[in-house]
Structure 1
Amino acid sequence: MHALVFWLIYPLLWIISILPFKLFYAVSDAVFFLVYHIIGYRKKVVAENLKLVFPEKTEEERFRIRKKFYSHMCDMFLEMIKTLSISEKELRKRFKFVNPEEIIRLQKQDKSIMMMCGHYASYEWMIALQLYGLDVIAYGIYKKIKNPYFDKLVRDIRGRFNGELISTTKATITITKHESENKRAIYAMVADQSPKLLKSKYWADFLNIKAPVFIGSEKLAREFNMAVLYLNVEKVSRGHYVANLVNITDSAAQEPAHQITRTYLDLLEKQIRKKPEYYLWTHKRWKHSHNPIPENSKIID
């Protein structure tokens, strides 16, 4: 069944990926109309999230943010498909890193790098970092897809530009092995997901709302004394992004406990408040905010 679903859908994905960009974004507009106006995908969740985070805004203001968000979300989903066939030249033109020399500086310190990312702007095209002639492999930590054919497709897409994926279940084992072999690398982790309530040991203010947070990125970075960067991605126009590598620390082990996570959340929050339409509001990020904080949990100030 998995194979049937894959081979029914894959030809369509490939056709979409090779379309010229003008026609490609026309398809995205059509997808937006379907998702937003016909299906209404998670409209209630998005509306509730926006009202929770921006109570000071009017209904009309939140409505405009919601509509812009859905348009961007469809673009980003289609851009993921575009990665099937996009050329190195085109990708580098559309996703620019303004300071790749920050990676080179940290490499000279013989350190691996934890790159903390958010569900903001474009995290799909950050594989463009591998096109800057860096002598280091970048690994993306991802949640494995249930359909093995689509899972392999996603891994193959990332592998086009010398990047690799590691599933969340194997991340700690793999990174530990690499470090024991003195194999330095970049590990990119999207770190703003919501943990399950029973596993919510750490809570923090995020956009002025108490919510459980993951500290896995910080934990691994501190254990192996990695450098930590925040991937600050700005959408400058449709299909064009600029990324800035913001230094959080050169030596994670030297930082106070939870300081890295707090800094990461502050940097992401600053971006969201500036242009909220580029954050992934369909996630139930604050679904536990009304639950009492468990007694054994810690608050990250």
Structure 2
Amino acid sequence: MQELNLTPGTFSRLQATHAYVSSSCWSAKCSATVQVTALEKFESASLIDYMICISDGTDYVYGKLHPQLHHLVEQEHEDARVRIGSVVVLQNVNVYQVDRVPVLILVVGALRVLGHAPETIGKPKRLKLIQPPEIDARPSRIWTPNYNCRIRDLSPHRSKWRIRARVTHRSELLSWTKARPPVDGQQRPPRQGKLFTFTLTDAAVAMDLPLDSDSKDEGMDSIRAVAYNLVADKFYPLIEEGKVYHLSNAQIRVARKDYPSDPSYEYELHLHSQTAIEAVRTTFTTME
């Protein structure tokens, strides 16, 4: 049986060789042997994506398979299929990063299966990132994902965006009542309505993989969303805990601090009638 050895330090060398720049992309030759330790399929009406976690035995990073490599996951021949535990050779990779989060995109012809290991090789930890220099990012023609914004990059000043996120908490559909001041000494009936909230976590972070315990910015990868009245009626049956969604065209506001059951978020999403939410079917597997 062929001995399967990884190339330790692959991702740290990639990082040291190329300065990570916010919203930048580059192509690199990295001829390295790595292991697939997690695989998740995202499937919606408009696309199919495969997100993977790959390890060099020392560090792990998240990645996405280029659409032209999807056939490697869907292979009928088991020995040639990319699956959990697969040890593969990377040659050319496209690398892009948004706000200090590394994602590797595997390009056509960049992946060859060497074999399969029943257990994780080594004891990989999440790659520690080097602070990027403050320089302008150049536009790139490299293939990019079908979602265009991470949750940590959302702000009220951003107009066009779409996120892919997993619902990690959803409240019940609640009723609310708010008193109204009297007019000409006449008491008015209170305003009434309903609402529900849910918490969204970036799909890349919500792969249920172990994160380093000393990470201080995991909260930046989550955001609370809230819907009122008719909008709540529209979306409440659609939103389910544990499922992944594409979401766009919601209003981004400074977060209210009067939700004691939720963490303190900087911003929150307010859904309205034009908000678009699309369910994404997922299949997640990882090493035992």
TM range (shorter): under 0.3
Q: Determine which structure has the larger helix proportion and give its number.
A: 1
With structure 2 as the length reference, what TM-score do the two structures score?
0.27
Which is richer in strand? 2
